[in-house]
Amino acid sequence: MCKSASLQNRKTYLSDFLADFGYSAEAKSALEAAFDRIAEEKSASRLFEKIRRRYEKKPDEKFGYLVESADKIAAKCALSPYAVYLVVLILLSESSKKVYADRDVSSEMWRRNMFDLKYECDTCILVRGVYGTDCPLWPKSFFAATRFTFGKLQFETGRLGKPYEKDGIRLRPDDRVIFIHIPRTGERLLPEDVDAATQAASRFFKERYGIEDVIFACHSWLLYPENKNILSETSNLYSFISRFEIIHVEEDTTYKDLWRLFDMEYKGDADALPRDTSLRRAYAERVKAHKPLGAALGVWVYKK
């Protein structure tokens, strides 16, 4: 159990965070138990303090150091690294409040952004069978207050990576656009949700960064062109995909990203893939026929 006021405060923060953000009772129990194991091991606790101090000093630094130290904590405490990653990130979220304040980003945006940790936990228990996260590098931009959540979508600036030219708009690969990310919220992404989120994001990025011409981009398996042949034209995903002009396509026959659709790791047996939706059925059949899947980069010149 916790042996100091400092550790008890951290345990309280963790418990309050898990309750406030709606983690299941099972997730709360598992992550609190992981914390207790870490707290019992002095060298593991020291490693966490090292992570915290480094983040507070350099909040823009990539999270490789966090993963390296968290892996050591997991080994010392005989815990899943996925569980340790999430416990560390949740505890680090307390320090991130000051980063947001220093960068003039609201506490409301902090709260919206921190929900992503729960989305990752929900995915991890489905795919890995562990309450935690298997994508510990992904939250870095949330913790640097450079990725922002509006409604059911997330936004951040980044290099387009490919040239684009149409209707007087000319973009070079190094030009920065606003990337859209689609978190796994467990809710449907209705067209009106996309309209509301992009309208709010457009206004925010214009005010914060002085952007005049809003260009959205998205790089996702959802934009893979074959999906439009599978989906109904009346579906929410079809509507989302149709907003973008596809400028680059990547195909894949390793099926390494199937977990994003099926909530499980693909182990080589197409018949084991769930077929409870039309998209899952179509993808399972493509895999069974050894057809490629993929991802695409799309551009959306926003005109509102």
User: What percent of the chain stands above pLDDT 70?
Assistant: 98
Among 137, 168, 183, which residue terminates a domain? 137
In-domain check, residue 83 = yes
Rounded to an integer, what distance in angstroms lies between the CA atom of residue 119 and that of residue 150?
15
Q: Tell me: do 165 and 218 sit in the same domain.
A: yes
- 74 pLDDT above the threshold of 70: yes
142 is a domain residue: no
Q: Are 178 and 134 in contact (CB under 8 A)?
A: no
Same domain for 189 and 251?
Answer: yes
Q: Identify the weakest region by mean pLDDT among 102-106, 193-197, 280-284.
A: 280-284
Q: Contact 144/66 with Cβ under 8 angstroms?
A: no
In this prediction, residue 1 carries a pLDDT of 37
Name every residue whose Cβ is closer than 8 Å to that of residue 150 and which is 6 or more positions away in sequence.
Answer: 112, 196, 197, 198, 200, 201, 204
Q: Which domain holds residue 188?
A: 148-301
Same domain, 90 and 157: no
283 and 157, same structural domain?
yes
**Per-residue pLDDT at 4:** 66
Query: Which amino acid, residue 196?
Result: A
Q: What is the mean pLDDT of residues 174-188?
A: 95
Looking at 109, 137, 165, the residue that finishes a domain is: 137
Q: How confident is the model at residue 56 (pLDDT cuts 50, 70, 90)?
A: very high
Residue 13 sits in the same domain as residue 158 = no
Per the CB < 8 A criterion, the answer to whether 227 and 220 are in contact is: no
Q: Is residue 270 part of a domain?
A: yes
Q: What is the pLDDT of residues 109-130, one digit of tens each?
A: 999 999 999 999 999 999 999 9
Task: Count structural domains, the chain.
Answer: 2
The predicted model scores a pTM of 0.94
- Position 5 scores a pLDDT of 61
Q: Is residue 143 in some structural domain?
A: no
159 and 79 in a single domain? The answer is no
Pick the closest to residue 278 from 246, 242, 238 (CA basis).
238
pLDDT reported for residue 186? 86
Instruction: Decide which of 82, 111, 137 is a domain's last residue.
Output: 137
Band of pLDDT at residue 2, cut at 50, 70 and 90: very low
Model pLDDT, residue 142: 98
